[in-house]
Every structure is written in structure tokens, then in C-alpha cells.
Structure 1
Amino acid sequence: MNTWLRRFIKHRDSALLGLALLFLLGAILRPTIPFKHNIYSYLLVADISQSMNASDMKLHGKTVSRLTYMQNMMHEVVASLPCGTKVSIGLFAGNSVAALYSPIEVCRNFAAIQDTIAHLDWRMAWSGNSRLRESLYVTAKVVRSMSEPAQVVYFTDGEEAPKLHAFNTKNLDEFQGGNDWILVGIGSEEGAAIPKLSEDNQVIGYWSNESFAMQPGIAQISESTLGVRDDNVATGEHDRYISKRASEYMESIVKEIDAKYIKGDSSYQVLQAMKAQKPARRDIAPLALDWILATLAGLCILGTYASRHPLRQIMQNLKLYRNEIKSRFFVKSDAVAHDNHFQ
């Protein structure tokens, strides 16, 4: 042992460079070891119903639609998630939710996820109605059908259109799967009228109050108890339906399914709520060792520049600096005093 140690000290620089080379070669092979850790996977559900076109949100000092505000919030949330997190984007309209793809790793697929959010549009909706309670059952089925578990973060204004009545209110007593989900309320307490848009995204009017009431004569079994909205447009400002963020309604829903509701006033609040969520699962995953080997290689290279006697070298350097300071200042002052003496 002592012989090897003496040889290492004698040929320290060559040995350290050799070790650095070995560590770098090991890093290139990208070795991993099995490591049990928490896996975070999310299904971010975006409400694309027509009430999300109501313009009652502020973004960068400008009034924007709820949809635009929600897109910006989702952009910021995805950008703040750590690498290794998996994300899927889901769409909510009518009484159902559709996942656009299975959860994918956020860093390797960052551009694709952000592009998906950027292209969210109300014209992607497959139904003009909006049934939040009904959609929760479908969301649970979507999550169960995924290749791996995922936590749900639901961005919505909570609008039910047409309005709920006793015969078309879905019972959530037997609902399973909402544990630790998050409902993020988008919209304002003051509310705004909902524009009715053409297929070219042009405003052709505003939804009327009558359009959110159940049509007369609708039977309980009609359209799976969803009802149909009147398609009329408001004839004046007093006829316009004013849509607001349904905070109280969503708070009542989360109590029924053991979920959590937060107001979508900032992406920071959403991220804090997501951090408080339980991980989607805990499993064994590979832990990369390449960065550790690369760090050790760097330390070996730095070691070749270190002195064998660092304390002695430091003391010698300090002594040299002290002598240099004396030679510059004290010698100069003595010379000046000598010149003054002869004057």
C-alpha cells in the first residue's frame, strides 16, 4: 500500500490525468443505476368551450380572453416544471375530455408541448355545450387508459351551459379518481359577455340569457341529460349573458371528489399547488452517472495544478507579496527622504 502511495505521489500528475481520461471515457458510455424515486406526471386539461372567449382577464396590462390568459398560464407552468416531469395536454368541451397524447417528458419535448398550447382554439371543440360535472367521469377514464398514472390539473371557468337543473345534475357520490386533482378557476368575479364567433373567428354577436336556459320540453333522457342551448344571439346589451368565474360552484365540486380548487390569479399559485400534489407514482428508474464521472474527471485535472504542499506554497506566495510591497513603498519613501536631506 505504501509503495503504491509513494508511486502515486511521485507520478501524481500522470496518474491524475490517467484517472481523468478513465472518468471521461466512463461518462461517454452514460452508465446508470436503478434508483427508486417519485415520478411526476400531469394531464393539463384546457377548457376550450365558448365561454373561454369572454374577455375579462388582464395580461401585460391588456384585456384578453380567458383562453389567451389560460394559454399564457399553461406556457409558464410547463416552462417551470423540472426535467423528468411528464406532461399531457387534454381538451374539455361538452361533457368529455380528450387527451392529445400520452404524458411525454417535458424537456425533451418542450417545443412540442408549448406548440400544442399555443394552438389551442375554441374551434377545436366538438360540442357547443359545457358540462364540467359530466366531464369528470370521462377525465377519470382517460387517466386510467393512459400508459402510466397522471395527476390532473383542470383549467376552466366552471361554466355549465346550459344551466343545471335537478334532473340533469350528475351525482358525484360514487366518483372515483379525483383524489388530489386541481381545478384552476379562470375568469373574473365581474364577468363579461360571451362573444358568438363565426368559423372565421369574427364576432357576430353575443350569447343571450335565453341560450343558457334549458329549452322548454327537454326530457330528462334527452341528449344524455345534457340538454340543448338556444342558439339565439342577444339583441341588445341587456340581453347578453354575463359569464363569471364559478368559484363557489367549483369549490362545491372539489369537496365531492376530494380535489382542490385554486383561483388562477397567477402561475406561481398553480405551481405551488402542483408541488403539494402527491407524485403520480413511485417507481424504479435509471439514475444517470455521467455527470458524476465528468465532475470527477474535472477534479482530477484541477488536481494536476495543485501544489504538493499547498500550505507551504501559500506561505511562500504571501512572503513574496509582502517583500514586493515593502520594496515598492518603503524603498521609495526612503529615497524621497534621502533627496530631501540633501536639499
Structure 2
Amino acid sequence: MSAASAVLALLRRRNWAIVAAVPLLAAAVWMPDVMFQRDVFRTIVTFDITQSMDVEDAADIDGGAAPVSRLDFARAAMREALGRLPCGSKIGWSIFTGQNTLLLVPPIEVCANFDALLASLDGIDGSMRWTNWSRVAEGGVFAAVRTATSVGQGASVLFLTDGQEAPPVLPDDRRVRDIPRGEVKGWLIGVGGDQPAPIPKTDRNGRRIGYWRADEVIQVPAQSRAGGAIESHEELSELRGQYLSSVAGQIGFAYRRLRTPRDLIAAMTDERYALRDRVPTRLNWMPVALAFVLLVWRFMPSVLRSKASA
């Protein structure tokens, strides 16, 4: 048999596809990552863990009938958003109460550290509180901006809160305007319902021991309210969206209300906050796909013939 006839016979039998698939599969195993320029995101996510975030007025993302706490809802939405971030993005966790934020996890790459980020996210709860009072604008947001500045890397801030402050900030209090505008980009994400609800009271171990009463919290003096005749109910909590939107505007942040995980995903992947960076990208799926096509092409006719003769 001539060489041409041998080649023709090999092509006719399609055995060459098996030979070609072997180096393709080997290449998929040993193929190094390739560096590509792409949009990534670097964000420090700050969770408000004050007691008003324990109010159960949010829908259960997992489909449960009973409402869940605002903090549980925020964490569940973050779990979904985390999986939507492109590889090369970096996320860090911090918590807020009182007038300060505490950085728990500095920004780390999401794909290589996905399980670690999820595990640390699940550990964020009210038992980490070091005080029961809070200053969202004057303290929390300012501290979050300061933390992002110290971390560097172009990190933005995403602050999840219901906007409730204790003791309350008076309507004419101008201290929130001391926050530097435009120093760091970021979002204020509003969490909570529109109807005022009782705030659970917990002990130092995080166990619920009832609800806060009107005589146990500082109320806004009636004369400082608009019209001077509205009774204050700071023992109840609802989303202070208008306040958060105002604070966001003062410091150059954006504001968005968290209704579904899609709202959080949209905020975290907003192209205005994207950074261009060289990111290692795995392309080993390409030789695997090509080897699969070759093997299907090689064996499919015999499969069809066997079915026809059965």
C-alpha cells in the first residue's frame, strides 16, 4: 500500500482524531494562564451590625416564608453578588458600629479566595458589636472612607445600612458635611422596609432579650422636628433612604436601595467603578473543547450504526 493510500485510509477511519485529541488534552492540563487586560473591581464592603439591622422586615432570598433580619438579607445578597464578580476583582469585609469601622478582611482576589470570603462573610453578625450607639454619616462612612484610603489599590466603598442612628442626628445637624467629597468612590446601600418596626434588644452575647422601649432610647425633641408637633419614635426603625441619599450626595457617593440581589450586583459591577488591570486568565477550556469535538466526530458514526442495527 502506498503512503498516499495509507493516509487516505487513516482519514477514512478517522483515527487521526484520537491522535490529535491526546496532545490537546495534555495542553489543557499544562497550559499556563494568559495575562489579559480586563475590567475588575476592588471594594471594601462595610456591614452595619447595629441592633436596628436585626429588625426582621426583609424577604428571605432562599424562599422561606418568614421575613429575615436586614443583616441576614444583606449577607445573602452579598453571597450571590460575590459569584458574579470577574476574576481579578478584590473584595474585603469590614463592620460598623458606634463611630468606627473595623476591617476584618483586607481586599483579596475573589476567585482564588472564594471559599474563604464566603466563610468569613457567614461569621459577620451582631455578636461582633462593641457598642450600641451609632453615627452612620459622621462616623461610619467617614471611617470606611479612611480605611479604603489606607488600603489603597483604588478600592471603593460599599456601605450596607438602614441609616438609623442612635442617638439620632437632628435635622439641622451639619456635622455630616465635614466628610471630604470625592476622596473615595463608593455606594451607600439602603437595607430595610418602609414601615417602622420594633428594634430587637440583645445582650452582650448576641441573645435576644426583648425589644427597645421608647423610654430606653434618646428621642428627637419635638421642637426640632419639622412643624414642631411630630412625636419621635426612635425605638422603631425603618429604612432612612432619604437621609442616606442626602449623605451620599454630600460625599460624592451613589445611593441604591437593596430590594433583590440584582441591586447589589448592579452596584458592585457598575462600570464607573471598574479598574483596568492585567489579570491571569485560564484558557484551557479551548483545547478541551476542541478535543471533545474531535472525539465526538470520530465516534459518533459508529454509535449511530450500532443503534441502527439493534
What is the rounded CA distance, in whole Å, between the counterparts of 2:5 and 2:283 in structure 1?
Answer: 31
CA RMSD for the aligned pairs? 3.4
Query: 1:50·1:194 contact (CA, 8 Å) conserved in 2?
Result: yes
Q: Which AA in structure 1 matches 2:163? A: G
Query: 2:46·2:96 contact (CA, 8 Å) conserved in 1?
Result: yes
Give 1:235-254 correspondences, 5 Å limit: 241-254=235-248
What is the rounded CA distance, in whole Å, between the counterparts of 1:21 and 1:112 in structure 2?
Answer: 36
1:88 alignment partner in structure 2 = 92
1:120 alignment partner in structure 2 = 124
1:208 alignment partner in structure 2 = 214
Q: 1:104 to 1:56 in 2, by over 3 A?
A: same
2:201 alignment partner in structure 1 = 196
User: Offset at 1:42?
Assistant: 2.8
Query: 1:193·1:240 contact (CA, 8 Å) conserved in 2?
Result: no
2:260 to 252, 266, 279: 266
User: Offset at 1:91?
Assistant: 0.7
- When normalised by structure 2's length, the TM-score is 0.78
1:170 alignment partner in structure 2 = 176
User: Offset at 1:96?
Assistant: 2.0
User: Offset at 1:191?
Assistant: 1.4
Query: 1:43·1:87 contact (CA, 8 Å) conserved in 2?
Result: yes
1:132-184, CA deviations, whole angstroms, 9 ceiling, x for partnerless residues?
112222212222333633333221001122122456723246333343x2222
What is the rounded CA distance, in whole Å, between the counterparts of 1:298 and 1:5 in structure 2?
Answer: 28
2:51 alignment partner in structure 1 = 50
User: Offset at 1:252?
Assistant: 0.5
1:91-135, CA deviations, whole angstroms, 9 ceiling, x for partnerless residues?
111222222112334344333323323222222122322111122
User: Offset at 1:51?
Assistant: 1.7
- When normalised by structure 1's length, the TM-score is 0.71
2:107 to 86, 103, 116: 103
Say which SS state the counterpart of residue 269 (structure 2) adopts. Answer: helix
What is the rounded CA distance, in whole Å, between the counterparts of 2:155 and 2:24 in structure 1?
Answer: 38
Say which SS state the counterpart of residue 278 (structure 1) adopts. Answer: helix
Q: 1:132 to 1:7 in 2, by over 3 A?
A: farther
Query: 2:190·2:256 contact (CA, 8 Å) conserved in 1?
Result: yes
1:248-281, CA deviations, whole angstroms, 9 ceiling, x for partnerless residues?
1011112122222122221122223333343442
What is the rounded CA distance, in whole Å, between the counterparts of 1:51 and 1:281 in structure 2?
Answer: 34
Q: Which AA in structure 1 matches 2:257? A: K
What is the rounded CA distance, in whole Å, between the counterparts of 1:84 and 1:274 in structure 2?
Answer: 14
How many residue pairs end up in the alignment?
Answer: 286
Q: 1:250 to 1:84 in 2, by over 3 A?
A: same
What is the rounded CA distance, in whole Å, between the counterparts of 2:300 and 2:68 in structure 1?
Answer: 60
Q: 1:287 to 1:256 in 2, by over 3 A?
A: same
Query: 2:85·2:269 contact (CA, 8 Å) conserved in 1?
Result: no
**1:65 and 2:64 equivalent?**
no
Q: 1:286 to 1:83 in 2, by over 3 A?
A: closer
Q: Which AA in structure 2 matches 1:25? A: A
Structure with bigger gyration radius: 1
Q: Which AA in structure 2 matches 1:89? A: W
1:11 alignment partner in structure 2 = 10
2:142 alignment partner in structure 1 = 137
